[in-house]
């Protein structure tokens, strides 16, 4: 009902609802994605024009981002290709500080005059807003890196793989789901390449080439007699990888409890679609869960979203300080809790770290979007809240003298701000497998894959669903169950964490289109964990009649 | 400003048509200028302005088609974009669901554009922020808000003679006010096509008052309660229902409107007989575009009439397959209301809850349209016709279908996000847990 730069593309039938996919840039043909319109020397020359213009107009700091953002999205249903969209967005964004206030302007006119004008506009906006500014911006120092570059380590550039090969793979997966009992299947492949050039008055010139990929499907089985239907999404994970992720590899998957299959740094989409066909048929016949307290055994491909919502967002410093109060909200993890040095966010075995360097993850880059080298740092140590996520203009608030390197913008056209790095739960130190974990549970539920998720604006109360649910009775999987959602409070939940599987079970979950800010921007972020147990969590039954 | 006149748009599109050798060609040309200001912690944080215009072209050869877009408009660029789409279309697989482009259509004008909104200046935006921040500061409250204004045009043309053009302007404003002791929070939203209807200071005062009223909230037991839902609280649940009224999903057996044994629930009673929901692009309070993306004219469409499913949306392919006329999806949602004010509804409530807004709403079960989410920014307990005290926020698990079956009373309509929604009283609304969030 609103005009936005979001296109309603051919739908992923997520249980009847269409998925709205944010599409940045203009559609172009595929060859265009492989062209290189501008070399690094020219980018440096253009960036310097912007930096000099900003300084000449009174800016005390400036950064210039020349960005080329390429996407390819492919959508199919059953035996039909619905849409293949290639997009390119090319332009420049200039951000400045003048009179202690931020200003930003962008243009798709990547010429000397275009950049000059954007720098002047950004400086004029900063000066206009400076009149009602009460807190002058204070930037943490950053090293001058000179001319450097970084590239996602990849074996196959997904964009260069012929379209036919990608469409055939999706259609084969669809056929496998149908052959295994599904009535309908939608599948999609999202591929993203960010070619970003960053320059600032601090003396850094950073050229980066970032790649991400996400295969997904939605398989539906229908029981015409009862009028019921069940759907299941893919158990893939979006990755910061090339098309090699789509090449199945025996050593990159493991069979888990309940006949589930778990994929690590390679994905077998056809096999997973076949399993989805079978599992949705089984779900139609499964029992409805009895509401009550259960011990939950959460698979990494499920727990990732719980980490994202209850720890990732809660430890964003801009939320804690109130900058997101009008949109996503604030946070219960307030500065006084952090200062006390004894706020028990979780049990003693809960160690959560932020990391922008983890290979294969969605958040991995060499430098963030304000020219800070990325790193790893602790957020929760032995259950205690020890740090937040902070960028250059926030570091002083938590008494640090450098940014954490987690500043990001979705395009040249949007201003960069603090975004969530990969936030992950450390695996357990002792050897312990998901099968052993289930053996130790008397009354519980094993949950695999992401589902419905909702959390309050200060990140206390949440409710999560999942993709697959298996009831556990006396150390054994009893069978699949339906209508499960668990509700808890963040601190209570993480303090009920009693056991974590070892590193051989550790894998990443990903959120490909995470939204934040006004105007809203998307970002992609991974969350690693091993299968983890939480004791006595409140489970509700979600079945209703209409 | 990225607004081309009808003649300018037509001229470019006609040129595009003349460059094509495809069996048929479809083109869309649109542009907009968008300004914004964002503030938090009682100070401006970001503001900006974006301007963009783009042309998309789809070429069809038989049942093969492909698209290409560009944002340059000289003859050479226009030729290039057509050629690209044509080359790709020849390589594309046949689409068995391909539909020939529509012929010429008649469109009525809808007044969606106001020059006043297109003329909004950076100074005006800063003034709106100031009118939130200063009263907030005076009451020991912190304001965080966002104002965005957009003005633009859309046009489409195809080689079968169809041409449509419209202009549009929008203003959207939200502000959250939080008391500095951290115990109270209030919020308001406003949106208009014409900025002259917007009073930023008045809107901010509503949020400020709610923040002060909601301090020191008390917890009550979750359970089933009578609720008075302000329009901002119900709009998303109603929108989720309206936008899931596609006939194809229902015919395929995967919708809340699928019938046991096959077919759809069209013609069946779904909710309380006082519920009437329609869309109308010509409604003066919530004007919307009079044509859909594929060029179908939009008129007044009744979706729920006297509680019965009256229409479902049919895309052109599905309509042809089912032997019915296509029905474009809704451009806005209008729910018929009553004469009662929110105060009247409170007065007639023995025991209940007044809800300002529901937030973080997510699907739990698409089959029953069950959603979960939480109250936020002003939730109050009502006893014997009066607001007794603020209460802590709660999580709900509820379906708009169940909610509209439990209708007690409808009140006055208000514009929310381009829709007209009445305040309503609902019995037995399901809250499942308490939240400590303020």
Mean pLDDT of chain A: 92
| CB of A36 less than 8 A from some CB of B | no
Domain limit, last residue, from A285, A300, A333: A285
How distant is the Cα of A16 from the closest Cα of chain B, in angstroms?
Answer: 5
Same domain as A350, residue A258: no
CB A356 within 8 A of CB A417: no
How distant is the Cα of A504 from the closest Cα of chain B, in angstroms?
Answer: 32
| CB of B260 less than 8 A from some CB of A | yes
Q: How confident is the model at residue B434 (pLDDT cuts 50, 70, 90)?
A: very high
Q: Which of B347, B340, B335 is nearest to B411 (CA)?
A: B340
| CB of B223 less than 8 A from some CB of A | no
Q: A16, B129: Cβ pair inside 8 Å? A: no
CB A526 within 8 A of CB A240: yes
Same domain as A155, residue A26: yes
Mean pLDDT of chain B: 95
| Mean pLDDT calculated for residue range B137-157 | 97
- Residue B236 predicted with pLDDT over 60: yes
| Mean pLDDT calculated for residue range B104-129 | 94
Same domain as A348, residue A205: no
| CB of A175 less than 8 A from some CB of B | no
In a domain, A395, yes or no: no
Q: How confident is the model at residue A38 (pLDDT cuts 50, 70, 90)?
A: confident
When mean pLDDT is compared across A117-131, A260-274, B371-385, the lowest value belongs to: A117-131
Structural domain of A474: 288-369+376-388+422-541
Q: A487, B395: Cβ pair inside 8 Å? A: yes
The tokens of B146 are what?
A: 């966002």
Looking at residue B45, its pLDDT comes to 87
Q: How confident is the model at residue B272 (pLDDT cuts 50, 70, 90)?
A: very high
| Total domain count, chain A | 2
In a domain, A81, yes or no: yes
In a domain, A82, yes or no: yes
Per the rule left: phi > 0, alpha: psi between -120 and 50, beta: everything else, B7 is: alpha
Question: Rounded to whole angstroms, how far apart are CA atoms B75 and B2?
Answer: 19
The tokens of A516 are what?
A: 């934040």
- Residue B51 predicted with pLDDT over 90: no
Residue A41, SS3 per DSSP: helix
Looking at residue B49, its pLDDT comes to 79
| Per-residue model confidence as pLDDT tens digits over A222-269 | 998 888 999 999 999 999 999 999 999 999 999 999 999 999 999 999
- Beta strands A146-151 and A532-541 are unpaired
Residue in B84, B261, B395 nearest the CB of A463: B395
- Residue A88 predicted with pLDDT over 90: no
- Residue A16 predicted with pLDDT over 60: no
| Mean pLDDT calculated for residue range B388-409 | 98
Of B383 and B54, the one with more pLDDT: B383
In a domain, A406, yes or no: no
Q: How confident is the model at residue A6 (pLDDT cuts 50, 70, 90)?
A: very low
Residue in B239, B373, B402 nearest the CB of A546: B402
Q: Which of residues 314-373 of A touch B (CB under 8 A)?
A: 321-327, 329-330, 332
CB atoms < 10 A from the CB of A179, how many? 11
Q: How confident is the model at residue B160 (pLDDT cuts 50, 70, 90)?
A: very high
Task: Outline which parts of chain B fall under CATH 3.30.2290.10.
Answer: 6-211
**Residue A102, domain CATH:** 3.30.2290.10
Same domain as A442, residue A381: yes
Q: B249, A16: Cβ pair inside 8 Å? A: yes
pTM of the model: 0.94
Residue in A26, A323, A456 nearest the CB of B437: A456
| Per-residue model confidence as pLDDT tens digits over B192-212 | 999 999 999 999 999 999 999
Domain limit, last residue, from A238, A256, A285: A285
Same domain as A340, residue A446: yes
| Per-residue model confidence as pLDDT tens digits over A176-192 | 999 999 999 999 999 99
Judging contacts by C-beta atoms under 8 Å, the chain A residues touching residue B330 are 1
Same domain as A292, residue A240: no
Residue A497, SS3 per DSSP: strand
In terms of CA atoms, which chain A residue is nearest residue B364?
A452
pLDDT above 70: percentage of residues in chain A: 93
| Mean pLDDT calculated for residue range A270-293 | 97
Looking at residue A9, its pLDDT comes to 36
Q: Say how many residues make up chain B.
A: 438
Q: Which residues contact A154 (CB under 8 A, 6 or more apart)?
A: A211, A241, A242, A244
| CB of A136 less than 8 A from some CB of B | no
| CB of B150 less than 8 A from some CB of A | yes
Q: How confident is the model at residue A37 (pLDDT cuts 50, 70, 90)?
A: low
CB A448 within 8 A of CB A532: no
- Beta strands A292-298 and A443-448 are parallel
Domain limit, last residue, from A256, A285, A314: A285
Q: How confident is the model at residue A483 (pLDDT cuts 50, 70, 90)?
A: very high
- Residue A18 predicted with pLDDT over 60: no
When mean pLDDT is compared across A110-124, B57-71, B239-253, the lowest value belongs to: B57-71
Same domain as A345, residue A305: yes
Judging contacts by C-beta atoms under 8 Å, the chain B residues touching residue A415 are 46, 48
When mean pLDDT is compared across B72-86, B116-130, B369-383, B399-413, the lowest value belongs to: B72-86
- Residue A26 predicted with pLDDT over 70: no
Same domain as A328, residue A202: no
Of A132 and A314, the one with more pLDDT: A314
Looking at residue B94, its pLDDT comes to 86
Q: Which of B371, B367, B299, B353 is nearest to B330 (CA)?
A: B299
Question: Rounded to whole angstroms, how far apart are CA atoms A385 and B367?
Answer: 40
Looking at residue B375, its pLDDT comes to 98
Q: How confident is the model at residue B150 (pLDDT cuts 50, 70, 90)?
A: very high
Same domain as A353, residue A339: yes
Measured at the alpha carbon of residue A363, what is the angle toward residues A42 and A237, in degrees to the nearest 5? Answer: 125
Q: Which of residues 246-305 of A touch B (CB under 8 A)?
A: none
How much is the ipTM here?
0.92
The tokens of B139 are what?
A: 């009451």
| Per-residue model confidence as pLDDT tens digits over B286-325 | 999 999 988 999 999 999 999 999 999 999 999 999 999 9
Q: Which of A43, A393, B380, B220 is nearest to A51 (CA)?
A: A43
Looking at residue A25, its pLDDT comes to 59
| Mean pLDDT calculated for residue range B218-246 | 97
Same domain as A313, residue A269: no
Right CATH for B6-211 from 3.40.309.10, 3.30.470.20, 3.30.2290.10, 3.90.1150.10: 3.30.2290.10
Same domain as A338, residue A241: no
Judging contacts by C-beta atoms under 8 Å, the chain B residues touching residue A29 are 68, 84, 87-88
């Amino acid at each position: 009902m609103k005009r936005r730069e979001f296109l309603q593309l051919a739908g992923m039938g997520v249980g009847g609802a269409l998925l709205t996919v944010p599409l940045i840039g203009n559609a172009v043909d595929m060859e265009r994605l492989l062209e290189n319109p501008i070399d690094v020397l020219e980018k440096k020359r253009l960036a310097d024009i912007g930096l000099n213009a900003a300084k000449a107009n009174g800016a005390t700091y400036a950064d210039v981002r020349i960005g080329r953002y390429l996407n390819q999205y492919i959508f199919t249903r059953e035996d039909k290709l619905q849409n293949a969209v290639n997009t390119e967005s090319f332009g420049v964004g200039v951000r400045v500080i003048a009179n202690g206030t931020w200003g930003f302007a962008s243009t798709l006119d990547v010429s000397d005059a275009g950049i000059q004008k954007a720098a002047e506009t950004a400086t004029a906006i900063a000066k206009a807003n400076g009149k009602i500014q009460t807190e002058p911006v204070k930037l943490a120092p950053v090293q001058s890196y000179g001319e450097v570059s970084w590239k996602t380590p990849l074996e196959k550039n997904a964009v260069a793989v012929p379209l036919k090969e990608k469409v055939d793979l999706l259609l084969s997966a669809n056929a496998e789901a149908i052959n295994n009992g599904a009535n309908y299947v939608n599948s999609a492949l999202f591929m993203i390449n960010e070619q970003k050039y960053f320059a600032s008055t601090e003396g850094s010139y950073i050229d980066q080439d970032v790649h991400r990929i996400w295969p997904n499907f939605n398989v539906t089985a229908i029981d015409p007699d009862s009028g019921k239907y069940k759907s299941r999404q893919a158990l893939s994970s979006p990755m910061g990888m090339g098309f090699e992720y789509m090449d199945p590899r025996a050593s990159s998957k493991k069979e888990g409890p309940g006949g589930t299959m778990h994929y690590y740094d390679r994905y077998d989409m056809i096999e997973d679609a076949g399993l989805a066909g079978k599992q949705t048929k089984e779900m139609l016949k499964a029992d409805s869960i009895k509401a009550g307290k259960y011990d939950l055994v959460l698979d990494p491909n499920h727990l990732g979203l719980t980490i994202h919502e209850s720890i990732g967002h809660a430890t964003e410093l801009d939320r804690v300080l109130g900058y997101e109060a009008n949109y996503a909200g604030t946070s219960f993890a307030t500065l006084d809790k952090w200062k006390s040095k004894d706020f028990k966010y979780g049990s003693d075995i809960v160690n959560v770290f932020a990391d922008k360097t983890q290979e294969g993850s969605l958040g991995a880059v060499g430098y963030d979007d304000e020219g800070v080298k990325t790193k790893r740092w602790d957020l929760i140590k032995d259950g205690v809240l020890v740090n937040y996520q902070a960028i250059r203009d926030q570091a002083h608030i938590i008494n640090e003298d450098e940014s954490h390197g987690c500043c990001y913008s979705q395009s040249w056209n949007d201003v960069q701000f603090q975004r969530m790095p990969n936030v992950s739960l450390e695996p357990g130190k002792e050897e312990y497998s998901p099968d052993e974990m289930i053996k130790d549970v008397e009354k519980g539920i094993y949950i695999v894959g992401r589902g419905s998720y909702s959390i309050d604006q200060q990140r206390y109360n949440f409710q999560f669903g999942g993709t697959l649910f298996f009831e556990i009775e006396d150390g054994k999987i009893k069978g699949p169950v339906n209508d499960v959602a668990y509700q808890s409070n963040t601190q209570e939940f993480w303090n009920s964490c009693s056991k974590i599987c070892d590193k051989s079970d550790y894998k990443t979950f990903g959120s490909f289109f995470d939204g934040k800010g006004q105007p809203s921007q998307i970002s992609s972020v991974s969350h690693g964990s091993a299968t983890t147990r939480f004791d006595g969590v409140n489970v509700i039954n979600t079945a209703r009649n209409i | 400003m990225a607004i081309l006149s009808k003649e300018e748009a037509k001229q470019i599109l006609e040129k595009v048509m003349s460059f094509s050798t495809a069996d048929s060609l479809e083109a869309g040309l649109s542009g907009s200028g968008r300004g914004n200001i964002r503030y938090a912690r009682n100070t401006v944080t970001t503001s900006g302005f974006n301007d963009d215009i783009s042309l998309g072209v789809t070429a069809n050869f038989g049942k093969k088609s492909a698209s290409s877009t560009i944002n340059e408009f000289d003859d050479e660029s226009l030729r290039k974009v057509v050629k690209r789409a044509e080359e790709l279309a020849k390589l594309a697989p046949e689409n068995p669901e391909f539909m020939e482009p529509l012929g010429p259509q008649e469109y009525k004008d809808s007044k969606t554009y106001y020059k006043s909104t297109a003329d909004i200046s950076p100074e005006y935006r800063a003034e709106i922020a100031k009118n939130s921040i200063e009263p907030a500061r005076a009451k020991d409250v912190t304001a965080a808000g966002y104002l965005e204004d957009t003005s633009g045009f859309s046009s489409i043309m195809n080689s079968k003679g169809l041409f449509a053009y419209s202009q549009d302007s929008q203003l959207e404003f939200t502000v959250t006010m939080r008391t500095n002791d951290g115990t109270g929070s209030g919020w308001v939203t406003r949106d208009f096509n014409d900025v002259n209807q917007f009073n930023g200071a008045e809107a901010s005062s509503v949020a400020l008052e709610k923040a002060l009223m909601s301090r020191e909230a008390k917890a009550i037991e979750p359970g089933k309660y009578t609720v008075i839902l302000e329009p901002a609280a119900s709009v998303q649940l109603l929108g989720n229902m309206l936008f899931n009224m596609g006939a194809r999903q229902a015919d395929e057996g995967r919708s809340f409107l699928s019938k046991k044994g096959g077919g759809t629930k069209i013609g069946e009673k779904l909710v309380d007989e006082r519920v009437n929901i329609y869309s109308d692009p010509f409604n003066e309070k919530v004007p919307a575009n009079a044509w859909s993306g594929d060029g179908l004219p939009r008129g007044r469409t009744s979706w729920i009439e006297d509680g019965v499913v009256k229409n479902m949306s049919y895309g052109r392919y599905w309509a042809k397959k089912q032997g019915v006329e296509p029905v474009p999806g809704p451009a806005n949602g209008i729910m018929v209301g009553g004469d009662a004010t929110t105060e009247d509804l409170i007065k007639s409530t023995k025991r209940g809850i007044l809800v300002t807004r529901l937030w973080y709403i997510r699907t739990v079960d698409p089959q029953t349209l069950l959603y979960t989410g939480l109250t936020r920014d002003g939730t109050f307990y009502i006893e014997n016709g009066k607001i007794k005290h603020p209460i802590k926020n709660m999580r709900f698990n509820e379906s708009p279908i169940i909610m509209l079956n439990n209708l007690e009373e409808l009140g006055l309509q208000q514009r929310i996000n381009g829709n007209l929604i009445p305040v309503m009283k609902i019995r037995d609304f399901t809250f499942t847990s308490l939240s400590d969030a303020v």
